[in-house]
């Protein structure tokens, strides 16, 4: 029995996924071969810039295929090929597993004759009119109309589903260039909004005093970096521990660490927990020489299709995890690494698709952890 007013589950922000990913379109209204052919043309043009995926259903009877490891009874069959890797599962994927599998994809196209998606592209094909009419319950978010033949007119039952303002573009099915342009614009507009996060929740054990409170530029460093990021980010937050809440200036937004005991890793996860569809420009408070030019260089070279965009360390050549733009697609990856006992942001960057750039001035990335570091930075200032 559940008590009145009792909530069994905590409120938590959910990412704006469809059935598979954030940006997905089902193409339906014509034959499967033409849907697949069009999708391949789109992928050929966009896959160099975006992570793409295709979802279809086979017409073949897998029970008649030659015996293999799956039919022999195993659950997973993994094959390491020369140019790709192949995995076969003997299981039924549910909606949660689908989202996990496709969460890193920027563009997912679905054969809408068999599967549904968050948005739809309807092909007006007289030969498939009756079939399309049977799928009206799937057409709840039409974004594009494709005319299979020049003389085609939009079916009356489709017109009834369209807004009156004529905002749905209509393109000839054969005009591949315009169709690709449609998807380019959609993906550009779908670029995640960038928030800023200052990592100020550390205990500064090695230095012996709170690094976030050091006054390098006329104000405490946490506020200096926050004001710096406000020039480039829509919203900026200071990450802190619960016991720090009262000491943060009320004019600054904060995000309390809810993944405690994990250092910067927990702060990043806490930010994604609050806003899972935002990208996060993370800057640690122990980088006294970071400046507007450094931030602009990172933002101008941002690659939204990568897991993250960061600088290459001049010290060891590895990615700098604490001045990094983490894309929303990194959230499930960070959780996955944590489940494997890894809480090092750098290891996540090293072992994933990370866009790494060279800093113009390597000294801008110097961090202060000890008194010696502090004296070195004073020399630069």
**What sign does the dihedral 292-294-298-301 (CA atoms) show?**
positive
pLDDT for res 62: 59
- How far is 32 from 84, CA to CA, in rounded Å? 25
Taking only Cα atoms into account, the Rg of the chain, rounded to an integer number of angstroms, comes to 25
146 and 93 fall within a common domain? yes
Predicted pLDDT of residue 53: 97
Write out the residue range of the structural domain in which residue 299 sits: 194-380
Whether residue 158 sits in one domain with residue 33? yes
10 Å Cβ neighbour count for 76?
A: 11
Q: Is 375 helix (H, G, I), strand (E, B) or coil?
A: helix
65: left (phi over 0), alpha (psi -120 to 50) or beta: beta
14 within a domain of the structure (yes/no): no
pLDDT in tens, 320-358: 999 999 999 999 999 999 999 999 999 999 999 999 999
CA distance 279 to 326: 6
Examine residue 3 and state whether it is found in any structural domain, yes or no: no
Alpha carbon distances (Å) from 130 to 9, 36, 320: 44, 20, 57
123 shares a domain with 234? no
Do residue 199 and residue 270 come from a single domain? yes
Residues 84 and 173 in one domain: yes
**189, 218, 233: which is the final residue of a domain?**
189
Q: Is 18 inside a domain boundary?
A: no
pLDDT score, position 68 = 72
* Whether residue 45 is found in the same domain as residue 100: yes
Judgement on whether residues 231 and 112 belong to the same structural domain of the protein: no
Q: Is 271 among the domain residues?
A: yes
State the CATH number of the domain containing residue 264: 3.90.550.10
Please tell me whether residues 205 and 252 are part of one structural domain: yes
Residue after which a domain boundary falls, among 164, 189, 214: 189
Q: What CATH number did the domain enclosing 132 receive?
A: 3.40.50.300
- Residues in the chain with pLDDT values less than 70: 1-9, 60-67, 70, 203-209, 369-371, 374-375, 377-381
Domain count, the chain: 2
* 78 alpha carbon, distance to own chain's centre: 26
Query: Are residue 201 and residue 142 in the same domain, yes or no?
Result: no
User: Tokens in use for 244?
Assistant: 């720090």
Tell me what pLDDT residue 235 has: 97
Closest to 166 (Cα-Cα) out of 154, 174, 178: 154
Q: Are 28 and 288 spatial neighbours (Cβ–Cβ below 8 Å)?
A: no
């Amino acid at each position: 029995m559940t008590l009145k007013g009792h909530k069994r589950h905590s409120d938590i922000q959910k990412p704006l996924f469809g059935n598979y990913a954030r940006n997905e379109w089902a193409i339906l209204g014509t034959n499967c071969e033409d849907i697949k052919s069009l999708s391949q043309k789109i992928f050929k043009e966009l896959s160099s810039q975006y992570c793409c995926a295709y979802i279809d259903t086979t017409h073949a009877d897998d029970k008649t295929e030659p015996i293999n490891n799956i039919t022999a009874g195993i659950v997973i069959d993994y094959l390491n090929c020369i140019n790709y890797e192949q995995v076969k599962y003997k299981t039924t994927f549910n909606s949660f597993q689908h989202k996990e599998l496709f969460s890193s994809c920027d563009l997912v196209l679905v054969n809408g004759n068999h599967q549904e998606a968050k948005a739809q592209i309807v092909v007006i094909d007289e030969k498939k009119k009756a079939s399309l009419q049977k799928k009206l319950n799937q057409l709840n978010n039409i974004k594009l109309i494709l005319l299979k033949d020049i003389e085609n007119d939009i079916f009356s039952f489709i017109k009834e589903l369209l807004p009156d303002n004529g905002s749905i573009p209509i393109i000839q099915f054969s005009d591949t260039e315009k169709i690709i342009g449609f998807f380019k614009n959609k993906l550009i507009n779908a670029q995640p909004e960038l928030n800023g996060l200052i990592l100020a929740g550390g205990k500064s054990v090695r230095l012996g005093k709170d690094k976030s409170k050091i006054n390098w530029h006329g104000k405490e460093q946490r506020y200096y970096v926050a004001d710096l990021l406000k020039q480039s980010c829509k919203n900026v937050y200071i990450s802190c521990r619960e016991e720090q809440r009262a000491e943060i200036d009320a004019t600054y937004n904060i995000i309390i660490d809810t993944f405690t005991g994990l250092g910067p890793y927990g702060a990043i996860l806490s930010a994604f927990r609050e806003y899972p569809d935002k990208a996060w420009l993370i800057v640690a408070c122990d980088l006294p020489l970071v400046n507007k030019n450094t931030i602009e260089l990172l933002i101008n070279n941002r690659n939204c299709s990568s897991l993250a965009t960061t600088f290459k360390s001049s010290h060891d050549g590895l990615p700098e995890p604490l001045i990094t733009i983490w894309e929303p697609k990194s959230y499930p990856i960070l959780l996955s690494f944590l489940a494997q006992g890894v809480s090092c942001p750098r290891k996540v960057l090293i072992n994933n698709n990370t866009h790494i750039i060279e800093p113009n001035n390597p000294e801008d990335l110097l961090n202060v952890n000890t008194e010696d570091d502090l004296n070195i930075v004073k020399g630069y200032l």
